[in-house]
Structure 1
Amino acid sequence: MERRRSFPDVLAGAMFVLLGGAFVVGSLGYELGTPLRMGPGAFPLLVGVLVAALGLGIVVKGLVAGEVIVFGRIPWRAVGVITLALVFFGFTVRGLGFVPASAVTALLTTLASSRVRPLMAVAVTAGLTVASALIFVVGLQLRLPLWGPWLAF
C-alpha cells in the first residue's frame, strides 16, 4: 500500500502550529495565575496549546494518511465581497455605530453567495444584527455606540 502525503494538510497544520505557538509565547508575558484563579494569560495559553495540538495532528495526518485533494474553482466573488465587508466594518464601526456597520457587513457577506435570495438576505441580516448587538454590546458590554456620530441628525 502506497502512502501519499497531503501537502495542503501539512501546510495548514504548520500554520495552526505557528499560530498556536504565537499565542503561547504572547500569553507568557501576562500573569497565568492558578487553576482556580486564572490570570489574564491563562486563556490565551490554553487556546494556543489547543490550536498548536490540533495543527500537529493535522500535520501528522497529512504525512501519514494524506489524500489527493483536487481543488475546484475559487469563488472569487465570495472572497472579494467578504473581504470588502470586513474592511468596511473595520473602518466604519466607530463612525456609523455598531448596528449599521454590522447590518451592512452581514448583508454583504450574505450576498456573497449567488444562491441567496434578497428576502432571505434581509432576514439573515436582521437576525445577525440583532444577535450581535445583544451579544457584544449588551452581553459583553463592549463600549461601542449602537448609532455613531456620522448618523447624527
Structure 2
Amino acid sequence: MKIRSQKDFVAGLLLILIGLAFAVGATDYSFGTAVRPGPGYFPFGLGIILALLGVVVLLSAFTSQRTDRTDGDPVGRIPWRPLLCVVGAIVFFGVALPRLGFFISLPVMIVLTSAGSREFSWRDALLNAAVLTLASYAIFIYGLQLTMPLWPAL
C-alpha cells in the first residue's frame, strides 16, 4: 500500500494518539451510567470518537484519488509560533483562572492565542476578547450557572 497523502497520514496518526490518550486517561474517573454519567463518561466517549475519526483520516491517506502528485502531499514545516501561542495560552488560562479570575484570564488567553496568527492586530484581538468574554459569561456563568472566580481573590 502506498501513502498518497502524507498530511492525512500524519493527521490521522495524531488524532488516533490523542483520542486514545484521552480515552485511557478517562478510565481513572468513574463512568457512571447513561442516565447519570460520571466525570469519565464524556472524555472517554470523545476520545474514542476522536480515535475513530483518526482511523478514517488515516485510511483516506491510502485511498486519496489526487493525481497531481505521485509522492503524496508533503507534510512541510511545523508552524511553531501558532502552536506555542495556542498551547501556551491554554496553559496560562488553566493556571491563571483560579488566581486572576474569569474576566482577566479569558481575555488575556484570547489575545495570547491571537498572537499566533500572521495577521495579528491589537484591535481585532481586543475586540475578539471582549465579544468572546461577554458571550462566555452569558453561556457559562449566567446560562449554565457554573461557579468559577470572576475576579482576582483579594
- Shorter-chain TM-score bucket reads 0.7 to 0.9
Q: TM-score, normalized by length of structure 1?
A: 0.72
Alignment of 1:1-153 (within 5 A): 4-25=3-24, 26=26, 30-31=30-31, 33-34=33-34, 37=35, 39-40=37-38, 42-65=41-64, 68-71=72-75, 74-149=78-153, 152=154
Q: Secondary structure at the match of 1:84?
A: helix
5+ residue gaps, structure 1 = none
Larger Rg: 1
Separation in 2, partners of 1:84, 1:28: 26
Contact 2:9 2:57 (8 Å CA) reproduced = yes
Q: Give the secondary structure class of the aligned counterpart of 2:147.
A: coil
Partner of 2:69: none
C-alpha contact (below 8 Å) 1:21/1:49 kept by paired residues: yes
Amino acid at match of 2:37: G
Q: Secondary structure at the match of 2:150?
A: coil
Following TM superposition, by how much is the alpha carbon of 1:23 offset from its aligned partner in structure 2, in angstroms? 4.5
Shift of 1:91: 2.0
Q: Which region of structure 1 is more displaced relative to structure 2, 24-33 or 128-137?
A: 24-33
The separation in 1 between residues aligned to 2:4 and 2:124, in whole angstroms, is: 42
**Fraction of identical pairs, as percent:** 34
Pairs aligned (count): 147
Shift of 1:79: 3.0
Question: In 1, distance between residues paired with 2:80 and 2:23?
Answer: 34
> Which has the larger displacement, 62-71 or 97-106?
62-71
TM-score by length of structure 2 reads: 0.72
Gap runs ≥5 in structure 2: 67-71
Task: Determine the C-alpha separation between the residues in 2 that align with 1:71 and 1:10.
Answer: 9
